[in-house]
Amino acid sequence: MDKNLYAHHMATLCRRYDEILEQSGFETLNVFSGAPRMQFLDDNYYPFKVNPHFKALVPITDNPHSWVIYQRGQKPKLLFYRPVDFWHYVPPAPQTFWSDFYDIELLSKPADAQAFLSPENAAFIGESEKLQGWSLGEENPELLINRLHWARAYKTPYEVACLREANRIAINGHRAAEQAFRSGASEFEINQAYLGAAGQGENRMPYGNIVALNEHAAILHYTHLSTERLTEPQLKSFLIDAGADCNGYCSDITRTYAYADNEFAELVTAMDEKQLQLVDGLKPGLPYPELHRQCHLSVGELLAQFDIIKTSAESAVESGLTRPFLPHGLGHFLGLQVHDVGGHQTGPDGGTTPPPAEYPFLRTSRTIEENQVFTIEPGLYFIDSLLGELKDSDLAAEVNWNKVDSFRPYGGVRIEDNIVVHATGNENLSRNP
């Protein structure tokens, strides 16, 4: 990564933190990377997941017991944990594109951090379970955290570069996954192919990979990874939702494939066109829920076009008929966390705007602005439980149930890209990298 880009990023970050600390009445911020967690009645740890507020300040995702001490107007201090330990890997002292921007102290014991922490006018951000008796400052002040979350929606060019790279890595994985699917691999094997091509392990993935053959595509967060190999005519469809990591930033990409050239393949192509139209609809000034409504209209059009419903798209949106076919939101903020924070915030100082009552799972109620990064992920699924409820409802007569049954074995379709809203137009990070 380019050092000048990081210098620019740090300058922006320091300006933001200085201003937010001043507004919030703090001089110092003590941010803890986290402590490993032991499994119940065991001597093995859960995979380590870093405090997102720590990786927001320094691109380290895999080192527990470390700290960033941020004092207003001063160069940030990094307390980097380097124990003497013959059981575990000990990372070298940082010497990379970002290391000049911190005063770095090496800690050989977790408790040594206490000597550097100043609780005076300080706020602490992190989990304090393993820090009982330490003087940390005010723990996780809500207003301060709200302001930091609000600011995280506006990405710097360095952050966009990380997201771009996280997409490039994921795209390599997606290509390998499609090939594995075409050659008859099991979900488990496809996932291995994905991880191998991405060059990242399971614990580094920003979320559990969704690798779903056939009707499994109708399970929105399917992470089971069956080892069963399917062959034609049993093998019908493949939905994969998988990302990658770059310096703590996430990608989140979904593709759907048909095994044969059939009506489901046509549905995938038609959804792809609708998805690209929705990407074009992402424009500064538009409330994101408006685009979500347009997405339901698009899904209504597909349902009508493929003869799945007997009414118009408009009437299907109006009556709620599109909802069982698309129960999730159009998309969300993306950044250091896959569902990045702040999507429902009304302003930096608190308050949230809930999603529209009829779309409770929409993660973004904010108005679209420049330098924000969103996913756009319309879907259309054949979910037994939701279709069962629909069949028992007043809307049942508006559905072509034979057609629904013919699509059930395919599970469903979702296409998801990651989009940067620039002043000059949108950049789709997930296509043509």
Residue 215 partner contact from ligand GLY, Mn ion, none using kind-dependent CB cut-offs of 5 to 8 Å? none
Smallest distance, Å, CB 30 to Mn ion?
32
327 belongs to the binding site for ligand GLY (CB under 6 A): no
Centre a 10 Å sphere on the Cβ of residue 229 and count the other Cβ atoms it contains. 15
Smallest distance, Å, CB 377 to ligand GLY?
6
Residue 66 partner contact from Mn ion, ligand GLY, none using kind-dependent CB cut-offs of 5 to 8 Å? none
Smallest distance, Å, CB 203 to ligand GLY?
16
Could you say which of 375, 381, 395, 417 contacts Mn ion (CB under 5 A)? 375
First to last CA, the chain: 17
Q: Report the alpha-carbon distance of residue 290 to residue 62 in Å, rounded.
A: 39
**Minimal CB distance to ligand GLY: which residue?**
241
Residues 372, 173: contact at Cβ < 8 Å? no
Residue 55 or 363: the one with the smaller Cβ distance to Mn ion is 363
CA-based nearest residue to 81, from 45, 54, 46, 56: 54
301 belongs to the binding site for ligand GLY (CB under 6 A): no
Residue type present at position 29? L
Confirm or deny that 42 is annotated as ligand binding. no
Smallest distance, Å, CB 228 to Mn ion?
24
207 belongs to the binding site for ligand GLY (CB under 6 A): yes
Confirm or deny that 9 is annotated as ligand binding. no
Q: Report the alpha-carbon distance of residue 162 to residue 183 in Å, rounded.
A: 32
Q: How many residues does the chain have?
A: 433
Q: Report the alpha-carbon distance of residue 282 to residue 421 in Å, rounded.
A: 7
Residue 241 or 340: the one with the smaller Cβ distance to Mn ion is 241
Interface positions, 250-279, toward ligand GLY (CB under 6 A): 252
Confirm or deny that 416 is annotated as ligand binding. yes
At residue 74, what are phi and psi to the nearest 5 degrees? -120, 160
252 belongs to the binding site for Mn ion (CB under 5 A): yes
Residue 63 partner contact from ligand GLY, Mn ion, none using kind-dependent CB cut-offs of 5 to 8 Å? none
Confirm or deny that 332 is annotated as ligand binding. yes
Could you identify the residue written with the tokens 């996913």?
Answer: 375
Residue 146 or 254: the one with the smaller Cβ distance to Mn ion is 254
377 belongs to the binding site for ligand GLY (CB under 6 A): yes
Smallest distance, Å, CB 174 to Mn ion?
12
Smallest distance, Å, CB 333 to ligand GLY?
11
Sheet with 253-258, side-by-side order of all strands: 210-213, 237-242, 253-258
Span near Mn ion by CB under 5 A; candidates 225-233, 344-352, 383-391, 415-423:
415-423
Residue 229 or 344: the one with the smaller Cβ distance to Mn ion is 344
Interface positions, 379-408, toward ligand GLY (CB under 6 A): none
Residue 167 partner contact from ligand GLY, Mn ion, none using kind-dependent CB cut-offs of 5 to 8 Å? none
Smallest distance, Å, CB 337 to Mn ion?
11
Residue 245 or 416: the one with the smaller Cβ distance to ligand GLY is 416
Residue 207 partner contact from Mn ion, ligand GLY, none using kind-dependent CB cut-offs of 5 to 8 Å? ligand GLY
Smallest distance, Å, CB 215 to Mn ion?
19
Interface positions, 328-347, toward ligand GLY (CB under 6 A): 338
Smallest distance, Å, CB 332 to ligand GLY?
6
Interface positions, 209-248, toward Mn ion (CB under 5 A): 241
Positions at the binding site for Mn(2+): 241, 252, 332, 377, 416
Q: Which residues sit at the interface with ligand GLY, rule CB under 6 A?
A: 207, 241, 252, 338, 377, 416
Positions at the binding site: 241, 252, 332, 377, 416
Q: Which residues sit at the interface with Mn ion, rule CB under 5 A?
A: 241, 252, 254, 375, 416
